[in-house]
């Protein structure tokens, strides 16, 4: 992996304690605790702007305005990713720190933030209100303390992480900066208890079966797409899957038919497949195709009247998140571990499906971490966030970031 070794050779990660001894870095780390109210208020304000995948523009514009107010050069790319730049002494290499803008909630969801004691409640407050507030807070803290990085730091609020967004925002960022990019830090949700270094591979497929359609009584005996879908689906859910490597499937959405007394002309099904192993994913995808094919065949063979038309079927890939894994000797992971040690934090390695899947699948160093505080109920209307202690998560992210970007020596400023 050439890019990973580029990071290893160019500079070992700076230790967190030597970083924190530098007056500017110390000032940036201390900035968070002094500005907690501003950070919490920003998080609420951003959360209250609806931002379903593919409709992130308004929230993006707000993030852009805050970056611009800090005097950072900022641009919006053609997908809607907002990218601010903190120019380093070495502008030929960069580190990306990113948080996704989008939520799983439709635009008409009530996203007004409610307060219950110290707890904030609103759909999207933690995932990813916490990450968004954090990248903006990190930008402000670095600017306020006049920290100049060695490598350029790109701070991005990206589109398309959730659902059928299919990581399109991160794909575009990686495409755009590929040659200069040395590491990626994704801030997603709350907490400081984990670090995602393994990308969970997933595939999403849509099954469509069509037929002639007809009357439930007079055309009885004709092939029925819903029957075929049910026959195929029953076969598929009986497919054996391994406990290890952990592999899952979900029949998540089903559609079809027009009325109870019509033989439908169409049946559709969306399926989500995930696995720790790319091979299992390939096997499961081909099992789905075989089962649907057999379901269609069974329905056709059982039809009493085949003269009235036949069934057609397709299985299309509607989403794919590639897998990947950070090496145990990763400088980025070493920087995160150094930050944890310095802050007295403990975190466990996780495998998950995040924006970090894209760089990890390409051999680019990447992790996803929470941005501090505590949260829960992600993707539900009961989602909540408690900001107490969030400054530690922010310091952890910043020390990891500066660990891999480096800080420019005094004379280079
Ligand atoms: Zn998220």
Q: Where are the domains of the chain?
A: 2-199+323-412, 201-321
In angstroms, what is the span from residue 54 Cα to ligand 1's centroid? 15
Nearest residue to 362 (alpha-carbon basis) of 27, 49, 3, 62: 3
Q: How far is CA 92 from CA 11, 12, 302, in A?
A: 14, 17, 66
DSSP 8-state assignment for residue 103: B
In angstroms, what is the span from residue 161 Cα to ligand 1's centroid? 7
Is 106 exposed, middle or buried, given 0-12, 13-18 or 19+ CB atoms closer than 10 A?
A: exposed
Q: Which CATH class is domain 2-199+323-412?
A: alpha beta
Q: State the Cα angle at 412 between 406 and 413, rounded to 5°.
A: 90
In angstroms, what is the span from residue 21 Cα to ligand 1's centroid? 33
In angstroms, what is the span from residue 127 Cα to ligand 1's centroid? 5
In angstroms, what is the span from residue 129 Cα to ligand 1's centroid? 9
Q: Where does residue 273 fall: left (phi above 0), alpha (psi -120 to 50 degrees), or beta otherwise? A: beta
* Tens digits of pLDDT across the chain (413 residues): 334 445 654 456 678 888 999 999 999 999 999 999 999 999 999 999 999 999 999 999 999 999 999 999 999 999 999 999 999 999 999 999 999 999 999 999 999 999 999 999 999 999 999 999 999 999 999 999 999 999 999 999 999 999 888 999 999 999 999 999 999 999 999 999 999 999 999 999 999 999 999 999 999 999 999 999 999 999 999 999 999 999 999 999 999 999 999 999 999 999 999 998 889 999 999 999 999 999 999 999 999 988 989 999 999 999 888 989 998 899 999 999 999 999 999 999 999 999 999 999 999 999 999 999 999 999 999 999 999 999 999 999 999 999 999 999 876 55
In angstroms, what is the span from residue 128 Cα to ligand 1's centroid? 5
In angstroms, what is the span from residue 246 Cα to ligand 1's centroid? 22
In angstroms, what is the span from residue 162 Cα to ligand 1's centroid? 7
Please tell me the predicted confidence (pLDDT) of residue 3: 43
In angstroms, what is the span from residue 383 Cα to ligand 1's centroid? 12
Please tell me the predicted confidence (pLDDT) of residue 10: 46
Please tell me the predicted confidence (pLDDT) of residue 13: 67
In angstroms, what is the span from residue 189 Cα to ligand 1's centroid? 6
Q: Are 39 and 390 in contact (CB under 8 A)?
A: yes
Positions of E strands within 246-337:
247-256, 262-263, 266-275, 312-321, 324-325
Please tell me the predicted confidence (pLDDT) of residue 88: 97
The phi, psi pair for 369, rounded to 5°, reads: -135, 160
In angstroms, what is the span from residue 350 Cα to ligand 1's centroid? 15
Distant-in-sequence, close-in-space partners of 379: CB < 8 Å, separation ≥ 6:
104, 127
In angstroms, what is the span from residue 210 Cα to ligand 1's centroid? 36
In angstroms, what is the span from residue 124 Cα to ligand 1's centroid? 9
Nearest residue to 381 (alpha-carbon basis) of 110, 136, 158: 110
In angstroms, what is the span from residue 104 Cα to ligand 1's centroid? 9
In angstroms, what is the span from residue 100 Cα to ligand 1's centroid? 7
In angstroms, what is the span from residue 353 Cα to ligand 1's centroid? 9
Please tell me the predicted confidence (pLDDT) of residue 400: 97
Supply the pTM of this predicted model. 0.85
Distant-in-sequence, close-in-space partners of 205: CB < 8 Å, separation ≥ 6:
270, 271, 273, 285, 288, 315, 316, 317, 318
If one counts every other C-beta atom within 10 angstroms of the C-beta of residue 175, the result is 11
Is 246 exposed, middle or buried, given 0-12, 13-18 or 19+ CB atoms closer than 10 A?
A: middle
In angstroms, what is the span from residue 363 Cα to ligand 1's centroid? 22
In angstroms, what is the span from residue 376 Cα to ligand 1's centroid? 12
In angstroms, what is the span from residue 213 Cα to ligand 1's centroid? 42
Structure tokens given for 93: 């290499």
Q: Which CATH number fits domain 201-321: 3.40.50.150, 1.10.1060.10, 3.30.70.360, 3.30.43.10?
A: 3.30.70.360
Please tell me the predicted confidence (pLDDT) of residue 306: 86
In angstroms, what is the span from residue 314 Cα to ligand 1's centroid? 31
């Amino acid at each position: 992996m050439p890019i990973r070794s580029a990071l290893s050779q160019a500079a070992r990660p700076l230790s967190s304690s030597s970083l924190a001894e530098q007056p500017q870095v110390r000032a940036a780390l201390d900035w968070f605790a002094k500005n907690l109210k501003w950070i919490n208020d920003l998080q609420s304000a951003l959360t209250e702007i609806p931002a379903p995948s593919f409709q992130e523009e308004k929230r993006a514009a707000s993030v852009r305005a805050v970056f611009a107010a800090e005097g950072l050069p900022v641009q919006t790319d053609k997908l809607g990713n907002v990218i601010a730049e903190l120019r380093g002494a070495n502008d030929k290499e960069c580190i990306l720190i990113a948080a996704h803008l989008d939520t799983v909630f439709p635009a008409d969801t009530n996203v007004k933030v409610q307060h219950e004691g110290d707890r904030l409640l609103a759909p999207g407050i933690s995932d990813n209100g916490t990450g968004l507030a954090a990248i903006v807070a990190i930008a402000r803290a670095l600017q306020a303390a006049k920290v100049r990085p060695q490598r350029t730091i790109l701070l991005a609020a990206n589109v398309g992480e959730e659902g059928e967004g299919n990581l399109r925002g991160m794909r575009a960022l990686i495409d755009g900066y590929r040659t200069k990019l040395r590491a990626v830090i994704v801030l997603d949700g709350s907490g400081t208890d984990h670090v995602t270094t393994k990308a969970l591979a997933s595939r999403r497929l849509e099954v469509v079966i069509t037929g002639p359609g007809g009357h439930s009584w007079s055309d009885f005996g004709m092939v029925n797409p819903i029957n075929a879908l049910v026959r195929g689906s029953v076969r598929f859910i009986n497919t054996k899957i391994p406990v290890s490597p952990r592999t899952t499937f979900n029949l998540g959405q089903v559609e079809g038919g027009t009325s109870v007394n019509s033989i439908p002309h169409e049946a559709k099904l969306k399926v989500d497949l995930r696995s720790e192993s790319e091979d299992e994913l390939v096997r499961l995808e081909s099992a789905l195709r075989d089962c649907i094919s057999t379901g269609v065949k069974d329905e056709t063979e059982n039809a009493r009247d085949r003269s009235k038309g036949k069934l057609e079927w397709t299985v299309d890939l509607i989403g794919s998140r590639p897998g990947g894994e950070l090496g145990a000797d990763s400088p980025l992971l070493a920087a995160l571990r150094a930050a944890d040690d310095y802050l007295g934090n403990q975190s466990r390695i996780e495998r998950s499906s995040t924006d970090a899947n894209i760089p990890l699948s390409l051999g680019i160093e990447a992790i996803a971490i929470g941005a501090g505080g505590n949260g829960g109920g992600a993707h539900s209307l009961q989602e909540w966030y408690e900001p107490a202690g969030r400054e530690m998560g922010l310091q952890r992210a910043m020390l990891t970031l500066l660990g891999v970007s480096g800080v420019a020596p005094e004379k280079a400023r």
